[in-house]
Structure 1
Amino acid sequence: MESDKKNSLSMFIHEDVEIAIIDTDGEEQAPLLTKRIERIENCPDHTHFRMYVNHLQFFAIPMGARFEWENDRLIATDEKSQLQYCIRKLRITE
Structure 2
Amino acid sequence: MGAFLMALVLPRQPVRVTVEDATVDQICFEFAWIVLGDRVKAGRLRKYVDATFDANPGLAAIGEVLPLGKTFVLPEFTVEADAETVRLWD
TM-score between both structures, scaled by the size of structure 2: 0.24
TM-score between both structures, scaled by the size of structure 1: 0.24
Please identify which structure carries the higher strand content.
1
